[in-house]
Amino acid sequence: MADPHTYRPAPGEIPESPGVYRFRDSRGTVIYVGKAKSLRQRLNQYFADFTTLHPRTQAMVTTAASVDWTVVATEVEALQLEYSWIKEYDPRFNVKYRDDKSYPYLAVTMSEEFPRVQVMRGAKKKGTRYFGPYSHAWAIRDTVDTLLRVFPVRTCSAGVFKRSGQIGRPCLLGYIGKCSAPCIGRISASDHRELAEDFCDFMAGQSAKFTRRLESEMKAAAGKEEYELAARLRDDIKALQKALERQAIVLGDGTDCDVIALAEDQLEAAVQIFYIRGGRVRGQRGWVLDKVEEITPAGLIEHFLTQLYGSADQVIPREILVPVLPSDCAAVTQWLAERRDGPVNLRVPVRGDKKTLMETVSRNALETLTLHKTRRASDLTIRSKALGEIQDALGLNDAPLRIECYDISNLMGTNVVASMVVFEDGLARKSEYRRFSLKDATDDISAIAEVITRRFRRFLEEISAERTVAEGAKFVYPPNLVVVDGGAGQTDAAARALAELGITDVAVCGLAKRLEEVWLPGEEYPVILPRSSEGLYLLQRVRDEAHRFAITYHRAKRGKAAIDSALDDVPGLGPARRAALLKEFGSVRKLSAASVAEVGAVPGIGPKLAATVVAALNPEPRAGGDGSVDGDRVDGDRDAERS
């Protein structure tokens, strides 16, 4: 591990001009590439007080052994050079976008003498026109099968094409009219190329002209009483309409644009893009990335735009919709315009159909991230690796097969609650979740001490009484590792609570949200796990689940308190009737919006009392929810649905 000050440039060496810089390790390998409006200002940030740097930046500067830079004239040139160097060096600390799956494209090999329509995956080839990507290969084949009636372009392989020419007979598609059979000279090379170009124009969104042309030819044939030709043209029009119906209309003005959305958490992010051509969704693609560097949503969008549109074969539309403008919007827009050789409108939709479309793409990005995290969590090999990394990082004797995590939730010190979630073998065990209502806690540290004390005191009582789960024991199973949501203070409080109970065989650690630091009891400095570590990923999932569960309970408890306080002064309304109203309506808002008849229909509430309740609530309704029992065992799936 290198000291950054050993390779820090001397004062005055770094220019104030725009440029691109490279950090290299001891072997000369480029590990990070970045750009800056002012090289001096940006690079000095890396050599500031080491303790103020983000852990990801700390890892990068201690891995590096040297830094160099190249001065450029403008920010746009810096953007171009940064893209080139990232492609050339593939630095380990730069954000890397990887496809969440292999997407198929519809490809037309225009570089061949007789262009061929086919499904393609992988790297794009020069001289081939691509459409998509599509979510499934069968969707492409279904569309092509429909369009071959109107555009009978060759789809056979080179071997089949050559063999048909040798024997003088076309393949089956040639016999049924879905191939113009250029293999046997039924159509010339120039006419077949024109068919392929028409096919490409239709797929590119120029569908109206073909429909109008076929309608004109159909009417002309009918006028000449060539009814068989007119019927065939009618069927061709229906085939085109059928192909268009499979591509959803999302924008009514025939807009060509790309819509990009982002979903992220502390460790990963998913990017989703919809390709809109002629107002229709012509393709969709997604990427998932690990955040190996500290980066904002604006920075992610900037990186994504440069990586996506930097490729020579990537079509850049006139309009690109993004969830947030890139951090250097002017330079990125100019760079895109230069690559497109025309103006580019980069903007965030705020209303109308485009805003609705952005919300749809955002939901797809969130689904992609959720699916990726689910698959990652369910992989036995990855879970075993995660548990092993936690064991090594914390110095445990055994892998933590049972992990319990605790989180505190309160509002200005009121309605203090705690959650306990359980992960066994790296998977959530929702039947073991518990929640606590805390009465004596004054802050997060005292709350952690109280909940740990209560949980493990119950454990000791049940063990001494030799109670089993079948006999109603709730805390009979001890964890290998206790994780608390917080830093050094919360971690030390949990360790003290265990020590006071005489429990010495349960490990404790804390996970701080801001920098994802892992704290051990009594340690001055935290343990920093690599950002790509499966162990850190598992600890974060455990912590986030505890936070979600605590928030759910806190909202329910706060809602119950709100409805109790709102109905306290209503004459004739005791605890039983308040509970009945709570069960029926669930919140003060819904109760205050109900009519006298609806309130009176609740068992135990008559018309007169209903009128009193409605009158009491209408002046100042307040939001609420439902409640729970302290220390209850909770069905985690049902609770997740409520949250």
**Residue spans of alpha helices (H) in 99-157:** 137-147
Flag whether pLDDT at 112 surpasses 90: no
Flag whether pLDDT at 249 surpasses 80: no
CA 519 to chain centroid: 28
| Tens-place pLDDT, residues 523-542 | 888 888 876 678 888 888 88
> How much is the pLDDT for 244?
57
Query: Highest-confidence range of 220-229, 291-300, 482-491, 608-617, by mean pLDDT?
Result: 482-491
Type of residue at 575: P
Residue with the bigger pLDDT between 636 and 334: it is 334
Residue 441 burial by Cβ neighbours in a 10 Å radius (0-12, 13-18, 19+): buried
CA 81 to chain centroid: 29
Flag whether pLDDT at 348 surpasses 90: yes
pLDDT band at 288 (very low <50, low <70, confident <90, very high): confident
Let me know: does 279 contact 207? Beta carbons within 8 Å. no
Three-class SS of residue 36?
Answer: strand
Query: Highest-confidence range of 158-162, 479-483, 555-559, 619-623, by mean pLDDT?
Result: 479-483
Type of residue at 479: P
Flag whether pLDDT at 165 surpasses 70: yes
> How much is the pLDDT for 286?
83
Q: What value does the mean pLDDT take over residues 346-365? A: 87
CATH fold for the domain made of 4-94? GIY-YIG endonuclease (3.40.1440)
pLDDT band at 586 (very low <50, low <70, confident <90, very high): low
> How much is the pLDDT for 101?
53
Task: For CA atoms 564, 566, 568, 571, give the dihedral sign.
Answer: negative
Residue with the bigger pLDDT between 412 and 53: it is 53
Flag whether pLDDT at 427 surpasses 60: yes
pLDDT band at 629 (very low <50, low <70, confident <90, very high): very low
Closest CA to 239 of 312, 152, 303: 152
Least confident of 131-135, 273-277, 530-534: 131-135
pTM for this model (two decimals) = 0.51
> How much is the pLDDT for 97?
64
Residue with the bigger pLDDT between 124 and 76: it is 76
Flag whether pLDDT at 278 surpasses 60: yes
pLDDT band at 398 (very low <50, low <70, confident <90, very high): confident
Let me know: does 496 contact 450? Beta carbons within 8 Å. no
Flag whether pLDDT at 79 surpasses 80: yes
pLDDT band at 324 (very low <50, low <70, confident <90, very high): very high
Flag whether pLDDT at 411 surpasses 70: no
Flag whether pLDDT at 52 surpasses 80: no
Flag whether pLDDT at 401 surpasses 60: yes
Least confident of 243-252, 343-352, 498-507: 243-252
Flag whether pLDDT at 428 surpasses 80: yes
Beta bridge partners of residue 66, listed in sequence order: 24
Three-class SS of residue 21?
Answer: strand
> How much is the pLDDT for 139?
58
> How much is the pLDDT for 507?
92
- Domain 257-375 architecture: 2-Layer Sandwich (3.30)
Q: Any idea of the CA torsion for 583, 588, 591, 596, to the nearest 10 degrees?
A: 120
> How much is the pLDDT for 410?
67
> How much is the pLDDT for 236?
73
> How much is the pLDDT for 485?
87
> How much is the pLDDT for 314?
79
> How much is the pLDDT for 623?
33
- Domain 556-642 architecture: Orthogonal Bundle (1.10)
> How much is the pLDDT for 290?
72
> How much is the pLDDT for 514?
60
Hey, do 257-375 and 556-642 end up sharing a CATH topology, with the first three levels equal?
A: no
> How much is the pLDDT for 636?
40
Contacts of 182 (CB under 8 A, 6+ apart): 114, 154, 188, 189, 192
Q: Tokens in use for 195?
A: 């068919």
Dist. CA 78–CA 33, nearest whole Å: 11
CA 136 to chain centroid: 20
> How much is the pLDDT for 323?
93
Contacts of 271 (CB under 8 A, 6+ apart): 97, 260, 261, 262, 286, 287, 288, 289, 300, 304, 365
Q: What value does the mean pLDDT take over residues 100-108? A: 70
Flag whether pLDDT at 643 surpasses 60: no
User: Angle at Cα 591 formed by Cα 590 and Cα 594, nearest 5°?
Assistant: 90
pLDDT band at 627 (very low <50, low <70, confident <90, very high): very low
> How much is the pLDDT for 609?
84
Flag whether pLDDT at 239 surpasses 80: no
Flag whether pLDDT at 145 surpasses 80: no
Domain ranges of the chain: 4-94, 105-206, 257-375, 390-553, 556-642
Q: Is domain 390-553 given the CATH code 3.40.50.720 in the classification?
A: no
Residue with the bigger pLDDT between 414 and 580: it is 580
| Mean pLDDT score across all residues of the chain | 79
Q: What value does the mean pLDDT take over residues 278-299? A: 77
